[in-house]
Structure 1
């Protein structure tokens, strides 16, 4: 019996020796960066937008899905989506071309401006440095039905908020949601969703 068990152990050792996994260093990495790095990346993007250094975020844009812009918290199928190349084109090469981004709440008038103007006057209109961003905890500050998590169920969402002023009774608050997805082990920006007071 002892010889039999010893023989079985030798056989198992030989099998296991032939099935060892390759060293980890030889394996492609697909590990998602730690969650603390998401807010760091998002904060850097917001800083660059507030400085009007728009081209600095081009490498953050998702290489296959592009970057979507939503004027309000309810993401719409008609929202503008730009590929990385289109983003560079309309920021650097053709900055005067205007687009219809949606309808302004209240008046219903179309909001028609260039991409740089949209980024400067709509996306980065608030002072977002005063409050800490929140990760994957969407807080609604108005009455818009926010559907970002339904639209991007497998994404990480970083929310920035700036409170309204006393002069306007607090109604001039701003939210910006940066939506990230992971592609080939890297995190990329797939949407910038704004939200403001709506009637």
Structure 2
């Protein structure tokens, strides 16, 4: 058997060490991976608490805040007027009472001049019973004669509320007086526009021989109360001497 000297063994060991070191230098360092499937990590969408304290998924619309639901629009005065005039046509006083101002009630005026001292006002509970009310009320004075208007509401209704089919009136105006006679009109003073709206239903005349002097109007006045329009006035108007 051939024997190797210590110097020979040292040379062989050094050569092996050099080979191992060269192999380590050629191998790339192994990098840690976050994903086990080799895909790039995805960005997580943060959660936000809901009204019950539970987490809910964040926005999916580019980071924009959720659009809040719009508040229901207040009904237009035309719509309220249409509902009220239809209730009057149908003699549905209960429906009219539901539209009335709960505290102020409805002031009822026989002519275009609103007399805040003499015109009668009825709260909702009374409005609902007016057509079956047998009490005789004094509603003001007849134009021309000055005699007191003393009638039960059912009779007053036929003469000074719905004496024409106002639900089918050919002319309708909002916050504008169409019928004009000799009597002063104080709508803007009693019902200032910053607080009130009104709808007028107008007939310019019925018989040509009167050349328009037989016109009639019905004005329904609503008070603006937040998002509500509450009925506070029924104003009948016609040609006066």
The corresponding residue for 1:136 is 175
User: What SS does the aligned partner of 1:63 have?
Assistant: coil
The alpha carbon displacement at 1:184 in A equals 4.7
The alpha carbon displacement at 1:191 in A equals 0.4
User: What SS does the aligned partner of 1:133 have?
Assistant: strand
In the superposition, the TM-score normalised over structure 2's length comes to 0.64
The alpha carbon displacement at 1:116 in A equals 2.5
The corresponding residue for 2:145 is 107
User: What SS does the aligned partner of 2:94 have?
Assistant: helix
Distance 1:96 1:50, change over 3 A: same
In the superposition, the TM-score normalised over structure 1's length comes to 0.76
Q: Does the aligned pair in 2 maintain the 1:49–1:120 contact within 8 Å?
A: no
The corresponding residue for 2:11 is none
The corresponding residue for 2:198 is 157
User: What SS does the aligned partner of 1:39 have?
Assistant: helix
1:1-199 matched pairs, under 5 angstroms: 33=74, 37-77=76-116, 78-92=118-132, 95-128=133-166, 129-153=168-192, 154-164=195-205, 165-199=207-241
Separation in structure 2 between the aligned mates of residue 75 and residue 130 of structure 1, nearest angstrom: 22
Gap regions ≥5 residues in structure 2? 1-66
Separation in structure 2 between the aligned mates of residue 198 and residue 121 of structure 1, nearest angstrom: 15
Higher helix share: 1
Q: Does the aligned pair in 2 maintain the 1:162–1:173 contact within 8 Å?
A: yes
Larger Rg: 2
Q: Number of paired residues?
A: 170
Q: Does the aligned pair in 2 maintain the 1:32–1:182 contact within 8 Å?
A: no
Greater relative contact order (CA < 8 Å, ≥ 6 in sequence): 1
User: What SS does the aligned partner of 2:129 have?
Assistant: helix
User: What SS does the aligned partner of 1:179 have?
Assistant: strand
Q: Does the aligned pair in 2 maintain the 1:160–1:176 contact within 8 Å?
A: yes
Separation in structure 2 between the aligned mates of residue 172 and residue 73 of structure 1, nearest angstrom: 15
